[in-house]
Amino acid sequence: MPQLIHFLLLPGFSAMGFISAVEPLRVANRFKGPSYQWRVLSLDGGAVQASNGMSINADGALGEGEAGGVLLIVAGFEPLACYGPRLQQVLRRLEHEGVILGGIDTGPVVLAEAGLLDGYRATLHWEALEAFKERYPRLQVTQELFEIDRRRITCAGGTASIDLMLDLIAQAHGSELAVQVSEQFVLGRIRPRQDHQRMQIASRYGISNKKLVKVIGEMQGNIEQPLNTQVLADAVQVTRRQLERLFRLHLDDTPSGFYLRLRLDKARQLLHQTDMSVLEVAVACGFESASYFTRCYRARYQRCPREDRLARAI
C-alpha cells in the first residue's frame, strides 16, 4: 500500500515549503509507483491562501480520517493566528491514534503550542528559531535542515522540504530511488539534515580569514551575554588591535559595531515574532537597560522598538 501523507495548510503558509515536499513524492511515484498518496487539508475544508497570494484547494478538513498516516502542518509568518482549542484537541487525538505528526517551515510552532514536541528534537525555519527558543525554552531545538525523531518530523521549509522527502524516500525505498528523484530536480547533491540552513559565515559576509570567521561565530553564540573585544581577541590568539584591524580591513567596521548589529538584528526578530516586552527583548540581546537598547535600535532602524513592532503588525 502506498504511504499516505496529509498536509495541513494554515492560512499564509509557505508555498515553497509545501510544493518542495509534494513534488518529490510525485516523482518517486513516477519511478516506483504507487509509493505515495497525499491529501491536502485545511481547518474547514475550504481553499487556503499562501503567503504569496496563491490559493490551494483542500481535499478535506482536518479531523476527517487521518488515522495511521502522517500529518505535516505547513505554516508561514503567523503560525498561531488560527490556533485554538479545537485544533489542539484534534492534534492530540491524532497523536493518541498513532498518527506521525510533523511541521514544515513554522508548522512546528503549532505542535509545540499543543505540547506535542516535548521530549523530541525539533527544527524550523531559521528566521523563527530565536523566537521559538524563547517561547519554548525547555524544548530540544536544533538548526538542522530537518529532524526525524521517532514519531515527529520537523523541517525548516523552503528547499529543505526536498531534502526531508529525499531522506524519507531513501529510508523507505532505498538510496537509488532518492538519487533518481533528486536528479529530476537538477540537484547537485542530496543534503544531509546537518547542513546549514543559512549560508555559512564565510560565504554570507564574503570573508575567508579563519580567525575572523571564528570570532563572528563566537559573537553569534553569545548574544545574551556579549563578550568583550579582548576576550574575542584572546579566543583567536591575536591582540585587540590586530582584531580591530581585521574587522576594519574585511568588514569596514569595528568588532563592537559589528557585534551590536548582530544583537539588534536578533532583537528585531524577537520583536516581530514574539509578544516579549521591550525590556525582555533587550535583556535577551545583551542590553543592560531598555533606554540604551531603544537608542541603539532607533539609530539602526529609524524607529524605536515599539514603533517598529506596530509598523510590522499593520
pLDDT at 196: 74
Percent of the chain whose predicted confidence (pLDDT) is above 90: 84
The Cα–Cα gap between 221 and 75 comes to: 27
> Same domain for 81 and 218?
no
Q: For residue 174, is it within any domain? A: yes
Q: For residue 88, is it within any domain? A: yes
Q: For residue 144, is it within any domain? A: yes
> Same domain for 172 and 239?
no
Residues 180-197, mean pLDDT to the nearest whole number: 87
Residues 176-182, mean pLDDT to the nearest whole number: 96
Q: Which domain holds residue 309?
A: 202-313
The Cα–Cα gap between 157 and 127 comes to: 11
> Same domain for 290 and 236?
yes
> Same domain for 38 and 138?
yes
pLDDT digits (tens, 9 = 90+) for 110-152: 999 999 999 999 999 999 998 999 999 999 999 999 999 999 9
Domain boundary among 184, 218, 251: 184
> Same domain for 307 and 158?
no
Count structural domains, the chain.
2
Task: Please report, for the domain that includes residue 146, its CATH number.
Answer: 3.40.50.880
Q: For residue 191, is it within any domain? A: no
First to last CA, the chain: 48
Residue labelled with grid coordinates 479531523: 63
User: Smallest Cα–Cα separation from 180: which of 194, 193, 165?
Assistant: 165
Residues 68-81, mean pLDDT to the nearest whole number: 93
The x, y and z cell numbers of residue 46, run together, are 475550504
> Same domain for 110 and 172?
yes
pLDDT digits (tens, 9 = 90+) for 266-281: 999 999 888 899 999 9
Domain boundary among 184, 217, 242: 184
Range 225-234 contact pairs with CB under 8 angstroms and sequence separation of 24 or more: 225/286, 226/259, 226/263, 226/286, 229/255, 229/256
pLDDT digits (tens, 9 = 90+) for 1-36: 889 999 999 999 999 999 999 999 999 999 998 999
Mean of the per-residue pLDDT values of the chain: 94
pLDDT at 202: 85
> Same domain for 133 and 275?
no
Q: For residue 189, is it within any domain? A: no
User: Smallest Cα–Cα separation from 226: which of 269, 193, 199, 255?
Assistant: 255
> Same domain for 221 and 148?
no
Q: Does residue 207 contact residue 247 with C-beta atoms inside 8 Å? A: no
Task: Please report, for the domain that includes residue 231, its CATH number.
Answer: 1.10.10.60
Residues 286-300, mean pLDDT to the nearest whole number: 95
Instruction: Tell me: pLDDT of 313 over 70.
Output: no
Sequence letter at residue 80: L
> Same domain for 179 and 148?
yes
Q: For residue 190, is it within any domain? A: no
